Amino acid sequence: MRYTTLPKTDIKVSKICLGTMTWGNQNTQDEGFSQMDLALDKGVNFFDVAELYPVPATAETYAETERIIGNWFKKTGHRDNIVLATKIAGPGEYTAHIRTNGFSKEALNDAVNNSLKRLKTDYIDLYQLHWPERQTNTFGVRDYAHNPNEQWDDNFNEVLHNLDDIIKSGKIRQVGISNEKSWGTMRYLEESNTHNLPRMISIQNAYSLLNRVFEGDMAEIAIREDIGLLAYSPMAFGVLSGKYIKGTAADNARLKLFPRFARYSGVTATEATKRYLKIAEDHNMTLAQMALAFVTDRPFITSNIIGATSLEQLEENIDSIDIRLSDDILKAINDVHAELPNPAP
């Protein structure tokens, strides 16, 4: 395994982070335990979860993934061996079954306290805001369209003050953002710098061969401001394994169970995936390993969040850490990207 530190901290994390959002839906608790055992054995010390997991989010399965991780901590005693990240759900219809008061002081305290109980721990290493309260283009929406009737007031300062109180209580160590855009990222940093408030040290956004939009203004912010990307969906919902093209997807594969998750399955994305598959096969590697190795070694990446529904997939994904792509492979990848850029934003 290779390691780095969370930006502006001495917290050591593996360059591969274990994603957990299938546990409690696609995967059982025992399967989640086995995945955590394997990941830790292979040197992964960074786990990412969220209060709304597993996905799709429902009232019936709400927070089941956190409970599974907490049960594993209780069984194994490994809490202090893991850098643990979780998230408060953002507002919207998708999460109305959780709460409806956004990132208010009451919401943050409720979310943190309940996550701590489920996770069976007294601290969270990295606490993240899962998506913005304001209306912006997230989750596969390509362009920003302003809503002049939006009911939202600029509350970046207030949110950071509330997070500061929780940090001072010892319940969380560091804070980060997720599914955020350049304006929101810079507003948080501005408030931190101006008012000596907690600094967002990481941003968790989608990034893969099929979605490289982070390489625009966000990459410059990440590098110049030292706010590390925790890349999620580096396998594009499993599309970049090639299993859907080859027809080898298992019955519990995400897009078979939840076909509405079609963000990475459009015509152009499928064509790009076919071309990436050929590059990988021409260089005697799996598409999954090429796709993950590409993400891991981008200069703005702090950690690459991988997930799997089987131990075989998980082992292959973690082992991608040992692959370094040659200049020839990178050129071939970028040639495809130049012709078919970001087919799944």
Q: Percent of the chain, pLDDT > 70?
A: 95
Is 317 part of a structural domain of the chain? no
Alpha helix segments (H runs only) across the chain = 29-41, 64-76, 105-119, 156-168, 182-195, 217-225, 243-246, 254-257, 267-282, 287-296, 311-319, 327-339
Is 275 part of a structural domain of the chain? no
pLDDT of residue 261: 57
Catalytic residue among 3, 53, 127, 264: 53
Mean pLDDT of the chain: 94
Residue 312 has pLDDT above 80, yes or no: yes
| Closest to 112 measured CA to CA, from 60, 163, 185, 62 | 163
Is 80 part of a structural domain of the chain? yes
Is 248 part of a structural domain of the chain? no
The helix/strand/coil state of 88 is: strand
pLDDT of residue 326: 98
Domain that holds residue 15: 3-204
Is 198 part of a structural domain of the chain? yes
For the question of residue 53 being annotated catalytic, the response is yes
| Closest to 14 measured CA to CA, from 35, 38, 51, 40 | 40
Is 323 part of a structural domain of the chain? no
Number of domains in the chain: 1
Is 115 part of a structural domain of the chain? yes
The 10s digit of each residue's pLDDT in 71-102 is: 999 999 999 999 999 999 999 888 999 999 99
Q: What is the pTM of this model?
A: 0.94
Answer with the residue of higher pLDDT: 219 or 143.
219
- What CATH number did the domain enclosing 20 receive? 3.20.20.100
pLDDT of residue 266: 87
Residue 275 has pLDDT above 90, yes or no: yes
pLDDT of residue 242: 85
Is 24 part of a structural domain of the chain? yes
pLDDT of residue 257: 53
The mean pLDDT of 6-35, rounded to a whole number, is: 97
Residue 295 has pLDDT above 80, yes or no: yes
pLDDT of residue 253: 58
Answer with the residue of higher pLDDT: 120 or 254.
120
pLDDT of residue 243: 78
The mean pLDDT of 37-42, rounded to a whole number, is: 98
